[in-house]
Amino acid sequence: MADIPALLRRFAIQPKRSLGQNFLVDEAALERIVAAAELKPGDSVLEIGPGLGTLTRRLAESVTSTGRVVAVELDERLIPVLRFTLAPYPNVELVHGDILELDPVELIRGGRMHVASYRVVANLPYYITSAVLRHLLEARIRPTRLVLTVQLEVAARLTAGPGEMSLLAVSVQAYGRPRLVTRLKAGAFYPPPKVDSAVVRVDLYEQPLVPPEELEAFFEVVRAGFGERRKQLRNALSRGLQRDAQTVATALARAGVDPARRAETLSPEEWVRVYQALM
């Protein structure tokens, strides 16, 4: 595993830029990811995008023989490589498939009757980051923690605070608390990507900020607020929700939010108050 180019040559594989295949090879970065996951013997881990198995091996060692790592890889070409590099780890189950078309709960269940808590570790290409996050956060049983390697720009959006919030930030922070673990220079990967990356950890709440059955209506309000970001919140919500501007202004006042503010300045908790006032 020390010579990634040689391993790729052995299996006649060229990394696909279209799949975001930049394999993390920096030892210190790999250790920081495992440390951020805070795994214990017996834990269950869902890894998305194991690549060549460099991180997978460390995850398998952390959960020991009593734990389980389910590694989901989209690229069929990498399956023989993974079978080779992960052969010494019987606690790893390799799955060839698209995570967006698979049920995380069924993957972790593995034929068992009950699903224990699980954590997700993933190296996500930019083009599917939002879709994978939504897929995981809307799972029947959500993971307790996400440890994600994403582009640095995406990490900044995920961990943003009031003043720099986005629809993506609210969508994640309604479910849990994100924090930046570490930044990764392009040279930490092979081949090096064109941009820097970062590792983000999201600790999920036992329950989202609003009851699960109200999440769809809640996000309808948030999407309306961000629909016209240059507009004051009163006007953006009025247009997005097709409600009278004065009615919206009154609801915002009830929520303790100045109608002249803009969507990016609100915290997730303020969005909850706005949603409740508009119900």
Question: pLDDT, tens digit, for every residue of 92-104?
Answer: 999 999 999 999 9
Q: What pLDDT, on a 0 to 100 scale, did the predictor assign at position 111?
A: 66
Q: How many angstroms from the chain centroid is the CA of residue 267?
A: 19
Contacts of 81 (CB under 8 A, 6+ apart): 7, 8, 11, 13, 52, 53
Q: What share of the chain is helix, strand, coil (3-state, %, to 5)?
A: 45, 20, 35
Question: What pTM was computed for the model?
Answer: 0.94
Class of the CATH domain delimited by 212-278: mainly alpha
Q: What pLDDT, on a 0 to 100 scale, did the predictor assign at position 106?
A: 93
Each residue's pLDDT expressed in tens, for the chain with a length of 279 residues: 458 889 999 999 999 988 888 999 999 999 999 999 999 999 999 999 999 999 999 999 999 999 999 999 999 999 999 999 999 999 999 999 999 999 999 999 876 657 779 999 999 888 899 999 999 999 999 999 999 999 999 999 999 999 999 999 999 999 999 999 999 999 999 999 999 999 999 999 999 999 999 999 999 999 999 998 778 999 999 999 999 999 999 999 999 999 999 999 999 999 999 999 999
- Cα(129)–Cα(182) distance, integer angstroms: 18
Q: What pLDDT, on a 0 to 100 scale, did the predictor assign at position 230?
A: 77
- Where do you find CATH 1.10.8.100 in the chain? 212-278
Q: What pLDDT, on a 0 to 100 scale, did the predictor assign at position 110?
A: 78
Q: What pLDDT, on a 0 to 100 scale, did the predictor assign at position 127?
A: 84
- Where do you find CATH 3.40.50.150 in the chain? 4-204
Fold of 4-204: Rossmann fold (3.40.50)
